[in-house]
Amino acid sequence: MNTSDSEEDSYNERSALVQCESPTIPSYNQDHDMSLPQETDTKRRRPVSSGLDEPGPVERERASTPDGEEEELTLKYGAKHVIMLFIPVTLCMVVVVATIKSVSFYTEKTSQRLIYTPFEEDPNSVGQRLLNSLLNTMVMISVIVVMTIILVVLYKYRCYKFIHGWLILSSLMLLFWFSFMYLGEVFKTYNVAMDYPTLVMIIWNFGVVGMICIHWKGPLRLQQAYLIVISALMALIFIKYLPEWSAWVILGAISIYDLIAVLCPKGPLRMLVETAQERNEPIFPALIYSSAMVWMVGMADSSNPDSADERQRNEGGALAQEGVESEDDATQGGRRRYSAEEDLEEDRGVKLGLGDFIFYSVLVGKAATTGGDWNTTLACFVAILIGLCLTLLLLAIFKKALPALPISITFGLVFYFSTDNLVRPFMDSLAAHQYYI
Amino acid sequence: MTLAVFFGCAFIAFGPAFALFVFTVAKDPLRVIILIAGAFFWLLSLLLSSLVWFIAIKASNSQDLTLQRGLLIFGVFFSVLLQEVFRFAYYRLLRKATEGLAAISDDDGSAISVRQMAYGKLCLCSAENSLVLLGFMLHSGSLDGRFDQMSLCVSCAVAGLGFGIMSGAFSMINILSDSLGPGTVGIFGDSQYYFIITALMTLALTLLHTFWGVLFFEGCEKSRWWVIAAVVSLHLLVAGLSLLNPLYEGSLPPVYGITLLMGVWAFFSSGGSLHSLNALCTRRKAEGESS
């Protein structure tokens, strides 16, 4: 199946959660600087923040100062935020692994390939296979680099509508076409008879609600659920259509690319972030998972209705300028609310790009594909979670945008290969004799 | 039949661990992280011991069955020792993180400015500072935010549980998925009780790891090396008993006896007493009467 270009972006962004207090801190997001409709959650969540960033780990004290002039950043972010990311990552992986283990469609190898991996892997010759997988990786990474550069260029020249349209097209494809395919395969597996009218209604509702939740407004939990589902769908597509060895090499190469793109001074992601900083605009893509807790409940009580209305009006608003102004009003309400409820949950969560969800799930899904061994899957799962934990720790130390892929993917790859080749025979022999260690 | 065996064995093996998780670990994010890190450390120990075993296997004659069996037994004992080494390493990590936190919190209370730490310390990249920050990060999410003796004790129980869950999962999950069928147990003359014995052993080992975690950390804290030696030798004993395995009478009851013993020891070692048990029962009875 030839997939269109529009879904490239959905895995183009990488994450990084950052301490976002000062407007100068880069929040990291690659593709979409959709400052517009996606702003909804950010604005709703953090009306007091400066217009720029994504919530990163928390500062409650900062929440009360309108201009973010806090000097001392109290680190209140901790285990809670790690868990707020563990849960969605785990859910996405569980969905992918459950699908792989039950629906055989995603593990059947076909001769169809993505246009991004044009070289066929010949199972007979090891050298040829390795060479082809390296070439596939190079093609894929270069496609991603080109897309990112195009995005940065578009952003620099303020072609927001184009980016917006691109993004909507890609989420349309994910929400309608891929979920239709997925549902079809699940029905085939469980031999469920389904008629087209019912199916059309289900898919239509699912897709439309998804588009609304992701691109406009919706309950936070629903939006999170949709983001998890589309990441899982995308990961399943990769698992199906990437050739065996190419998939592993691509995983490794993507984490190196992520590292370079986010940390090097001339990296595209860094440039994107710096451009956004210069313009004092929020970069807010639709494809970022945010785990912030909703604090609207408190807001309704103590804030004045005007600021609430104004904020809502601005949620669909066009300019970042307006956004900043409305935040000033909202900060009054915010401060009142904050003083009223000292021990309310933090209103900032952490954000993780969907690309990270996708690649973590690809790794665990591919581990689940190999044979009937669950130990490998479990080992990769634990490795990825620990990598995420370490990344968040580094985030607390360095306090700037960081790539979330390298550490987790490295641990995941190491554990995959070592568990598959070393631990599996050992545990199998132990189980055969019923020895316990 | 297969689904019944699957669910039965799954609940036997993982029920208590799951209950412990839900009632003690799940509500505190800090403890969840300690649990997963414990699982990670166990996994590392398993990886290294499998590496050693694999090298030994590859270097030896694969046709000689007694040699292979001998190497497997060597692998078992080596793995047990390595697990204890990693348990110690994890203890050191937890201790260092929480010590660093306690050292800083003395001056400022629980709210610490990261910038203060950053500018005050020499180099933020040093491992020690990372550990301090790790400790702070972990503990700032915990319920009371302060480090004290009780939280270290709970951390050690949670760490032990992490070891136990991972150990149980690795022993049991493949077998559980096989028990969904199709197949016949013991068709070649092996014991028919394979699944249930596996489930029971897994349960025992999970609980043992939890108790050993508590005892080990207590022993290290109070520098009672004989406690540590006892834990290590009991682990070796349990692994050795499992070597008797097709003879289930020889392995299962002693292992459960040891589990009970460890449970009682861990209870008293972590500060419990007959009095507190009594208070618990009478309070529950009093509450029951009053309601």
> What are the residue boundaries of the structural domains of chain B, listed by start?
2-290
Provide the pLDDT for residue B199.
Answer: 94
Of B31 and B284, the one with more pLDDT: B31
Contacts of B79 in chain A (CB under 8 A): 437
pLDDT number for residue B72: 93
pLDDT tens per residue across span B78-116: 999 999 999 999 999 988 887 766 665 544 444 444 444
- How many angstroms separate the CA atoms of A77 and A128, rounded? 49
Is the Cα torsion angle A192, A111, A409, A77 positive or negative in sign? negative
Going by pLDDT thresholds of 50, 70 and 90, the confidence category of residue B262 is: very high
pLDDT for residue A315: 37
Catalytic residue among A33, A258, A329, A420: A258
Please give the average per-residue pLDDT across B240-244, as a whole number. 90
DSSP secondary structure, A208-272, as one string: HHHHHHHHS---HHHHHHHHHHHHHHHHHHHHHHS-HHHHHHHHHHHHHHHHHHHHSTT-HHHHH
- ipTM beyond cut 0.90: no
| pLDDT score for A268 | 85
Kindly tell me the sign of the dihedral angle through the C-alpha atoms of A177, A182, A188, A191: negative
**Do A41 and A287 meet the contact criterion of CB atoms below 8 Å apart?**
no
- Identify the burial level of A75 via C-beta atoms within 10 angstroms of its C-beta, where 0-12 means exposed, 13-18 middle and 19 or more buried: buried
Which pLDDT score is estimated for B131? 53
Interface of B with A in 126-145 (CB under 8 A): 129-130, 133-134, 136-142
CA–CA separation, A174 and A178 (whole Å): 5
Rounded CA gap, A7 and A9, in Å?
5
Distances (CA, A) of A77 to A58, A70, B33, B51, B96: 5, 16, 14, 38, 20
Give dist(CA A106, CA A43) in Å, integer.
39
* B250 C-beta neighbours (distance < 10 Å), count: 14
Q: Is A208 on the interface with B (CB under 8 A)?
A: no
Take residue A334 and report the two structure tokens written for it: 């915010």
Q: Please identify among residues 387-406 of chain A the ones whose CB lies closer than 8 Å to any CB of chain B.
A: 389, 392-393, 396-399
B177 CB-contact burial (10 Å; exposed 0-12 / middle 13-18 / buried 19+): middle
Q: Which residue of A has its CA nearest to B40?
A: A382
Tokens of B91: 């203890």
* Interfacial B residues in 192-211 facing A (CB < 8 Å): 194, 197-198, 201-202, 205
Quote the CA–CA distance of A384 and A408 in Å, as a whole number.
5
Kindly compute the dihedral angle of the four CA atoms of residues A289, A292, A294, A299, in this order, to the nearest 10 degrees. Answer: -130
Question: How does residue B193 score in pLDDT terms, banded at 50, 70 and 90?
Answer: confident
H-helix or E-strand containing A351? strand A351-353
pLDDT for B246: 80
**3-state DSSP assignment of residue A289:** strand
Q: Closest approach of chain B CAs to the CA of A383, in angstroms?
A: 7
Residues 74-113 of A with CB under 8 A from B: 74-83, 86
Give the pLDDT confidence score for residue B154 in this predicted structure.
84
**pLDDT score for A292:** 74
The total of other beta-carbon atoms located within 10 Å of residue A77's CB is: 28
CA distance B288 to B104: 45
**Residue-level pLDDT at B11:** 96
In this prediction, residue B257 carries a pLDDT of: 95
Which residue's structure tokens are 């001769």? A111
Amino acid at B267: F
Q: Do residues A160 and A35 make contact, with C-beta atoms less than 8 angstroms apart?
A: yes
pLDDT score, position B245: 80
At residue A25, the pLDDT reads 32
**Residue whose C-alpha is closest to residue B173's, from B199, B155, B148, B192:** B199
Compute the distance between CA of residue A416 and CA of residue A408 in angstroms, rounded to an integer: 12
The catalytically annotated residue of A31, A33, A329, A356 is A356
- DSSP characters for chain B? -HHHHHHHHHHHHHHHHHHHIIIIITT-HHHHHHHHHHHHHHHHHHHHHHHHHHHHHHTS-TT-HHHHHHHHHHHHHHHHHHHHHHHHHHHHHHHHHHHHHHHHHHHHTT--BHHHHHHHSS-TTSHHHHHHHHHHHHHHTSSS----HHHHHHHHHHHHHHHHHHHHHHHHHHHHHHHTSS--TTTTS--TTHHHHHHHHHHHHHHHHHHHHHHHHHHHHTT-HHHHHHHHHHHHHHHHHHTTTTSHHHHHHHHHHHHHHHHHHHHHHTT--HHHHHHHHHHHHHHHHH-
Of B168, B156, B245, B159, residue with least CA distance to B205? B168
Q: Are residues B170 and A72, on separate chains, in Cβ contact within 8 Å?
A: no
| CB of A374 less than 8 A from some CB of B | yes
Q: A245 and A140 in contact (C-beta within 8 Å)?
A: no
pLDDT digits (tens, 9 = 90+) for A398-437: 877 789 899 999 999 999 999 999 999 999 999 988 899 8
- Cβ-proximal residues to B208 (8 Å cutoff; 6+ apart), any chain: B164, B235, B238, B255, B258, B259, B262
**What are the structure tokens assigned to A302, written together?**
């103590």
Structure tokens at B244: 């008797």
A376 or B119, which is more confident? A376
* Matching residue, tokens 């010590």: B99
Mean pLDDT by groups of 10 residues along chain A of 437 residues: 44 44 35 31 32 34 36 50 91 95 87 81 85 92 91 86 88 92 94 95 95 88 92 94 90 93 86 80 67 49 40 38 41 44 52 90 93 89 95 83 91 95 93 89
Q: How far is A316 from chain B (nearest CA, A)?
A: 35
Q: Which of residues 42-81 of B touch A (CB under 8 A)?
A: 43, 46-47, 49-51, 53-54, 57, 69, 72-73, 75-76, 79-80
Tell me which residue in B29, B39, B83 faces A79 most closely, judged by beta carbons. B29
Mark whether A347 is an active-site residue. no
Q: Do B115 and A71 touch (CB under 8 A)?
A: yes
Query: How is residue A373 written in tokens?
Result: 């061994």
Q: Please answer yes or no on whether B167 and A86 come within 8 Å at the CB atom.
A: no
Contact B50 A423 (CB under 8 A): yes
B188 close to B64: Cβ distance less than 8 angstroms: no
How far is C-alpha A389 from the chain's CA centre? 16
pLDDT category at B119 given cuts 50, 70, 90 is very low
**What pLDDT is attached to residue B104?**
57
Residue B88: both structure tokens together:
């110690």
Residue in A389, A397, A426 closest to B133 by CB: A397
Which chain B positions have a beta carbon within 8 Å of A80's beta carbon?
29, 141
Q: In chain A, which residues have their Cβ closer than 8 Å to the Cβ of B115?
A: 71-73
> How is chain A split into domains, by residue range?
66-433
The structure tokens listed for B150 are: 């009780």
Residue A385 to residue B36, Cβ atoms within 8 A: yes
Beta-carbon contacts of B52 under 8 Å, excluding residues fewer than 6 positions away, are B75, B78
CB–CB of A426 and B75 under 8 A? yes
Which residues, 6+ apart, have CB-to-CB distance to A360 below 8 Å? A89, A92, A93, A384, A408, A409, A412
CB contact under 8 A, A378 and B75: no
Residues 6+ apart with CB under 8 A from A407: A387, A388, A390, A391, A394
Is A419's CB within 8 Å of B30's CB?
no
Average pLDDT over residues B146-154: 65
In angstroms, the Cα distances linking B184 to A431, A432, A434, B174, B194 are 17, 15, 17, 16, 11
Please tell me the predicted confidence (pLDDT) of residue A284: 56
Residue B30 and residue A79: Cβ atoms within 8 Å?
Answer: yes
Preceding amide of A403 cis, omega within 30: no
Helix, coil or strand: residue A74 = strand
pLDDT at residue B27 above 60?
Answer: yes
Q: Alpha carbon of B32 to those of B36, B102, B173: distances in Å?
A: 6, 21, 21
Is A31 among the residues known to form the active site? no
- Assess A418–B contact: CB distance below 8 Å, yes or no: yes
